[in-house]
Structure 1
Amino acid sequence: MTEISRRALVQRLVASTAFVSGASPLSAAPAPNRSPPPPAPPGKFEFDDVVRRARDLAAAPFEPVAPPLPDALNKLDFDAWRDLRFRPDKAFPIGDSFQLQLFHLGHLYRRPVTINTIRDGIPTPIPYSANLFDYGRTKLDKPLPVNLGFAGFRLHYPLNAPKVFDEVIAFLGASYFRVLGRDQRYGMSARALAVNAGTEAEEFPFFREFWIETPESGADRATVYALLDGDSTTGAFRFDIYPGVDTAIEASVTLFPRKPGVKFGLAPLTSMFFIGENDHRFSSDFRPELHDSDGLLMHSGTGEWIWRPLRNPPKPEVSSFLDKDIRGFGLLQRDRDFDHYQDLDLAYEMRPSYFVEPRENWGEGRVDLVELPTGHETSDNIVATFQPKDSPEPNKPFNYGYRLIASLNPAKLSPNGRTLNTYQTTAAALGSPEPINPGSRRFIIDFVGDDLRYYFSDPQLVEVVPSTSQGKIVRSFIVPNPHTKGFRAAIDVQLEPGQSTDLRAFLRSGSRALTETWTFPWRAS
C-alpha cells in the first residue's frame, strides 16, 4: 500500500521468526488537573457525531481502494512532493491561539482525507485550492479539482516564543501523528491504533476525515476529532491537545470492530534505534550514537518501574511484558548529551520522549516491544504498544482513553533512580589472566537520580539485586560513579551455547528499592 509511510513499511518485515521473550510481569498516573471541556449545546457538532459515523461505517462493507489521483501527483517522487509547500500566509486561524496548515497529496500520500473546521458548532470542509500551496520547482500540467482533498494537516502554536507560530502536531499518513513540546525536534511517531502488529496479517487503518474545533479566545487547548477506517475496525477519536514545555494529548476512543479475534494494539508508538552505546556492530559512522529513542519505560499495575534498553537486533524480535491495569508505558530518549550524537543538523539529543498513561484501567494484557534489524538511520524499526488479553467483540463499542506526553525530561516520568547507560563486555576484569568462560557476558549498568547521591559517601549500604530467567549469575558488584553521582553495577551471566535469557537488576538499600528495574534479553552464541 503505497500511501503508508516508511514506518508502516518496515513494520511489515516482522516475520514468523520473531520470538517472544520470557513474558515479564510488569496505577494509571492521575489525569491532569484540568476541567473537561463543557458539553456542546444541542444541535452542535461534537464527539458523539463522530461515534455515530464510526458505527454506521462499521456496518457497511470496507472500501480499501482510494479514488485515483491525477497522474501528475502519482508520479511525484519525495523531493518533488516536498516542494508542494503550504503557504504560511494562507494558514487558517483556529481561534487566536492556533493556526492550521495542510499537506498536499502525492508521492506515498495518495489517500485523500477530508478536513473540516468547526466554528460555532458547524463543521465546514476545506476545499482544495492551488492558491494554498507554493509548488516550487514542481510543475503540474492541469488544474486540480476542488474536491481533491489533502494528505493531512498540522497545527501551529506559539510554542517557543510568544509571537511565533511553531508546529506542535502533525497528522500525516495512515493513522500516524507526531507531537512536539517546547525546544523539541521531531523524531518518533504515534499511531491511533495497531492491528495484528508484528504478524503477517498486520493492517494499517487510516483516518478518513478530521474535524478541528475552534476554541474560545485565549484557549490553551485545541480539539481534533478523527474518523478511523480499516478492514477490521472503525473508530472515533477525540484528541485534546495542550501545548507547552511538555505537550500533552488527552485521547478518547470508541472502536467498532468488524471482525472477531483481532489483536488491537492501543496507543502504539514507533521509533528508530540504529546505534547506541551498547552496540557498535553496524557502522563506522563518526557519530557515536544514532537513535530517536533509547529505551522502553513501563509503569506496572503493581507500581514497579521497568526500563528495557532498545536494540538493533540481527533478526526481528518481539518481547512481551504481561501486566494488569498497567499505569503507563513509553519510548524515551534519555541520553541528552550532544557529545554522544555529534549531529549538528539532526539534533538527536532534542528528540522527544513519548509516554502513555491510561485514563482508566485497561485490564489484563501485555506491552509488546517489536525490534527490527536496520542497516541505517532512515528506517523506523521500533514499535511499542499495549495489547489487551481479550479481543474486543465485533459490532459492540470498545471504549478507552489515555494521555500522551511529549517531554525532554525523562526524570519527570520515573520518580525512582533510573538507568542512564547499558554496556556489554567480556566477563573478566581488564587485564585479568583468568580465562573467559564460554557463554558468559558482563553487563554494566549506570544508575543515577533519586537519592543515590545520598548513599554516595556510604556505598556499602547499597547492593545490586540481579536475576536471570535462564543460566546463572556468576558474580555481581557495584562501585560509585563520581562522574554521574550514581552507581555502576556489573553483572556476569553464564548460559549454555544457544540459550537465551531475560536479565533483571535493581539497586536497593536494606528492604527499600532505590531504582527502577533494568531488564535486558541476551542470547549466548
Structure 2
Amino acid sequence: MPASHAGELATVRGAPEPFGFELLVDKARALAAKAYAEPRVRAAETLEKIDYDAHWKIRFRPEETVMIGETAPVQFFHTGRYFKTPVRLYQVEGGQAREILYNPRYFEMPEDSPARDLPADIGFAGFRVMRGDLKTDWISFLGASYFRTDGQSRQYGQSARGLALDTGLSRPEEFPRFTDFWLAGPEKDGDTLTIYALLDSPSVAGAYKMSLRNADGEGQVIGINSRLFFRAPVERLGIAPLTSMYWYSETNRSVGLDWRPEVHDTDGLAIVTAEGERIWRPLNNPEALRTSTFLASNLKGFGLAKRDREFENYQDDGVFYDRRPSVWIEPLEPFGEGAVQLVEIPTDDEIFDNIVAYFLPKDLPEAGSEKRFHYRMHWTDRHPVETGGALTVATRVGQGGVPGQPRPADQIKVVIDFKGPALDGLTRDDGVVPVVELSRGEPINPYLLPVVGTDRWRLVFDARVADHDPIEARAYLKTDTDVLTETWLGQISHELVATPPR
C-alpha cells in the first residue's frame, strides 16, 4: 500500500440523487411501512479480530479528509469488533446527494492488521467532524444512534442518542441505529454544518435533521428536528436521551474504592418546569437498577449537568472529569404532557455508562402512529438557564445523630449547600428558612446556617430510614415573601453511607 494518496479519493462518489429533508421523511415513512430487516454483518469473524488495540492502530489519513461546506472537515471511523454494522455516508451539494464510497486507502493500517482481510467495500463505522487543524474532533457519531461533542472545555463526557426505547425495563432495551447520514453545509449564518440521518429499529423508523454550530470557547448548539414512524407499540419512549457515567462523588464517597475524591461525568439532573420551578436531583449509584419519574408536562428544559468543576475535587489530570460538558435540552416545540425519567444503574467502575435521562411522553405510540419532536441541545460547561435564585452546589450524607452521643442506626444525616445571587448578603436576621418534606416520616432537627467564610448557606437534617427502600426528599430555602433557591430532590437510603468491604 503506497504511503500517501493525497486527495485521490475526494471525488470517488456514487451516482447523484435528489435529496432534501422532506424526501428523507418520505423514505422513513416508507421504511416503517415494511417489516424490519435486521442488518447483515459481513466478515464477522474478521471484524471480531479487530479488538480495541487493533482498532486504535487503524488511523485515518488526514490528507483524505472530506470538507463539508467551508468549515467542517470530516474523517471516518473504521469498522471493528465493537462496530460491526457499517453506516452509509453521503455528501450533499446543490440538492444532490452522492454516496461517499468506502475505500481501505482512507486508512493507514499496520501490515499485520486483520482489517487488511476485509472486503474492499466493507463500509464505515461512523464519522467525526474535526477542527481546522485536524488535530482534534468536536463531535463524533459512532454506534447505534449515539453521538457526543467535547463541549465548551474540549473534553468528551456524556453522550446523546437519537432515541431511547424501553430503557430500564425487565426485558432487553431496543437500540435504534442511524443507518445512513447525509452531510451538508450550513443552512444559516453561524452554523457549521447540517447532518441528516435515517433511523431504524424493529419498532420505529425516523428522519432527523441536525443543524450544528461549534463556537470555540462557547461549546456547541445542535438543533434537532425529528419525524418518527412506528411499526409497533412502544412501552417507554425516550425523547432527547442523554447517557452519562456516575460512580461516586461527595454524596456517596463510601462506595468508591479509588484514590480520587470523585469520579463522574455528571453529578445531577436539572429540570425547569412549565411554571418555571427549577429542580435539581443529585445522581445516585444504587444497589439495584432504579427508575425515577418527574412529572414535567410542557417543560421548559432538562439536562444532565456537571456542576462541580474544581480540579481539586477530582485530581485526575489524565481524563479531566472537571472539564466534562453539561447538556441542556430546550424544546423548540412543546413536548406536551409527560415526564422526565432518570434511570440509574449500579456500577463499580468508571468504564460503564450507568445514567440515562430522557423525556417520556404521556401519549405513547401505537403501531402506525407518527410523532415529531423539535428541540435544541446546548453542550456547555454550565446549563444556559438564567436564574437570579440560588442553586445546589453540594450534597453530602453521613451518619445521623449527634457527635458524642450514641448514633441511631436508622438515621442518616443530609447536608445540602446552596449558593447564588438570591442569598448574597443575607444574614440569619433576614428570615431565611428551610422547607424540608419527606415521603416517609418527618425531618429530624432541621437547621440552616450561612457557612462561615463563604457565600454558601447550608441546610442540615436527619431522616429515619428503617429499611432499604429510599425516602424521597424535597428541600428549598425561602423567606416569607419569596422562594430563594431551586428545589432539591433527593433519594435517601442506607446505601449512601454503606461501609465499603475490606
- The verdict on a shared fold, with TM-score over 0.5 as the criterion, is yes
**Residues 83 and 210 from structure 1, CA distance in 2 versus in 1: closer, same or farther, beyond 3 angstroms?**
same
CA contact (8 A) 2:186 2:211 kept: no
Aligned to 1:275: 248
**Residues 137 and 418 from structure 1, CA distance in 2 versus in 1: closer, same or farther, beyond 3 angstroms?**
farther
CA contact (8 A) 1:66 1:112 kept: no
Higher relative contact order (CA 8 A, sep 6+): 1
Q: Secondary structure in 1 aligned to 2:450?
A: strand
Question: Can you give the 5+ residue segments of structure 1 that lack an aligned partner in the other structure?
Answer: 1-42
The TM-score normalised by the length of structure 1 is 0.86
CA distance in 1 between counterparts of 2:320 and 2:298 reads: 36
CA contact (8 A) 1:273 1:310 kept: yes
Q: Which residue of 431, 435, 443 corresponds with 1:465?
A: 435
Instruction: Note if 1:75 corresponds to 2:49.
Output: yes
* CA drift at 1:232: 0.5
Instruction: Note if 1:55 corresponds to 2:41.
Output: no
Deviation string, structure 1 residues 467-524 (Cα, Å, up to 9, x no partner): 1111111221111124541201102222444553210101112231111100111235
CA distance in 1 between counterparts of 2:223 and 2:148 reads: 14
Aligned to 1:444: 415
**Residues 499 and 205 from structure 1, CA distance in 2 versus in 1: closer, same or farther, beyond 3 angstroms?**
closer
Q: Secondary structure in 2 aligned to 1:472?
A: coil
**Residues 410 and 359 from structure 1, CA distance in 2 versus in 1: closer, same or farther, beyond 3 angstroms?**
closer
**Residues 241 and 128 from structure 1, CA distance in 2 versus in 1: closer, same or farther, beyond 3 angstroms?**
same
CA distance in 2 between counterparts of 1:142 and 1:195 reads: 36
Q: Secondary structure in 1 aligned to 2:54?
A: helix
Q: Which residue of 185, 195, 199 corresponds with 1:214?
A: 185
* CA drift at 1:74: 2.7
CA contact (8 A) 2:139 2:150 kept: yes
CA contact (8 A) 1:448 1:484 kept: no
Aligned to 2:211: 240
Q: Which residue of 307, 319, 322 corresponds with 2:280?
A: 307
CA contact (8 A) 2:267 2:283 kept: yes
CA distance in 2 between counterparts of 1:249 and 1:411 reads: 14
Q: Secondary structure in 2 aligned to 1:451?
A: helix
* CA drift at 1:261: 4.3
Aligned to 1:489: 459
CA contact (8 A) 2:428 2:450 kept: no
Aligned to 1:285: 258
CA distance in 2 between counterparts of 1:514 and 1:411 reads: 19
* CA drift at 1:425: 1.5
Q: Which residue of 123, 139, 149 corresponds with 1:179?
A: 149
* CA drift at 1:219: 5.1
CA contact (8 A) 2:388 2:422 kept: no
Aligned to 2:78: 104
Identify the range of structure 1 (93-102 vs 515-524) with the bigger mean alpha-carbon deviation.
515-524
**Residues 165 and 117 from structure 1, CA distance in 2 versus in 1: closer, same or farther, beyond 3 angstroms?**
farther
Deviation string, structure 1 residues 398-451 (Cα, Å, up to 9, x no partner): 1111111111124746553111110112223333x3x43342211000101223
CA contact (8 A) 1:314 1:373 kept: yes
Q: Secondary structure in 2 aligned to 1:470?
A: coil
Aligned to 1:322: 295
CA distance in 1 between counterparts of 2:286 and 2:330 reads: 28
CA contact (8 A) 1:97 1:218 kept: no
* CA drift at 1:393: 3.2
CA contact (8 A) 1:459 1:480 kept: no
Deviation string, structure 1 residues 163-222 (Cα, Å, up to 9, x no partner): 666412111000000013332200110011011111114200111100001237985331
Identify the range of structure 1 (422-431 vs 146-155) with the bigger mean alpha-carbon deviation.
422-431
Deviation string, structure 1 residues 245-287 (Cα, Å, up to 9, x no partner): 1311100000000012442110111000111011123333221
Instruction: Note if 1:394 corresponds to 2:367.
Output: yes
CA contact (8 A) 2:47 2:115 kept: no
Deviation string, structure 1 residues 349-396 (Cα, Å, up to 9, x no partner): 000011111112111111111111111111111111111112123323
Q: In structure 2, what residue type is equivalent to 1:332? A: A
CA distance in 2 between counterparts of 1:137 and 1:189 reads: 34
Q: Which residue of 214, 217, 232 corresponds with 1:259?
A: 232
**Residues 206 and 415 from structure 1, CA distance in 2 versus in 1: closer, same or farther, beyond 3 angstroms?**
farther
Instruction: Note if 1:476 corresponds to 2:446.
Output: yes
Q: Which residue of 139, 143, 168 corresponds with 1:198?
A: 168
CA distance in 1 between counterparts of 2:291 and 2:302 reads: 16
**Residues 167 and 460 from structure 1, CA distance in 2 versus in 1: closer, same or farther, beyond 3 angstroms?**
same
CA distance in 2 between counterparts of 1:501 and 1:310 reads: 15
Which aligned pairs between 1:338-357 and structure 2 lie closer than 5 A? 338-357=311-330
* CA drift at 1:72: 2.7
Q: In structure 2, what residue type is equivalent to 1:472? A: E
**Residues 408 and 483 from structure 1, CA distance in 2 versus in 1: closer, same or farther, beyond 3 angstroms?**
farther
Q: Secondary structure in 2 aligned to 1:54?
A: helix
Q: In structure 1, what residue type is equivalent to 2:166? A: N
CA contact (8 A) 2:69 2:193 kept: no
Q: In structure 1, what residue type is equivalent to 2:432? A: V
* CA drift at 1:110: 0.5
Q: Secondary structure in 2 aligned to 1:343?
A: coil
Aligned to 2:393: 420
Instruction: Note if 1:169 corresponds to 2:169.
Output: no
Q: In structure 1, what residue type is equivalent to 2:163? A: L
* CA drift at 1:145: 4.0
CA distance in 1 between counterparts of 2:300 and 2:189 reads: 32
CA contact (8 A) 1:81 1:106 kept: yes
* CA drift at 1:57: 0.7
CA distance in 1 between counterparts of 2:345 and 2:469 reads: 21
**Residues 102 and 303 from structure 1, CA distance in 2 versus in 1: closer, same or farther, beyond 3 angstroms?**
same
CA distance in 1 between counterparts of 2:34 and 2:114 reads: 36
Aligned to 1:335: 308
CA distance in 1 between counterparts of 2:456 and 2:194 reads: 43
Which aligned pairs between 1:347-386 and structure 2 lie closer than 5 A? 347-386=320-359
* CA drift at 1:241: 0.6
Question: Can you give the 5+ residue segments of structure 2 that lack an aligned partner in the other structure?
Answer: 1-16, 496-502
CA distance in 2 between counterparts of 1:487 and 1:216 reads: 47
Which aligned pairs between 1:83-98 and structure 2 lie closer than 5 A? 83-98=57-72
Q: In structure 2, what residue type is equivalent to 1:479? A: L
The TM-score normalised by the length of structure 2 is 0.90
CA contact (8 A) 1:330 1:384 kept: yes
* CA drift at 1:459: 5.3
**Residues 136 and 348 from structure 1, CA distance in 2 versus in 1: closer, same or farther, beyond 3 angstroms?**
farther
Identity between Structure 1 and Structure 2 (%): 37
CA distance in 2 between counterparts of 1:144 and 1:508 reads: 65
Aligned to 1:32: none
Identify the range of structure 1 (406-415 vs 117-126) with the bigger mean alpha-carbon deviation.
406-415
* CA drift at 1:332: 0.5
Q: Secondary structure in 1 aligned to 2:195?
A: strand
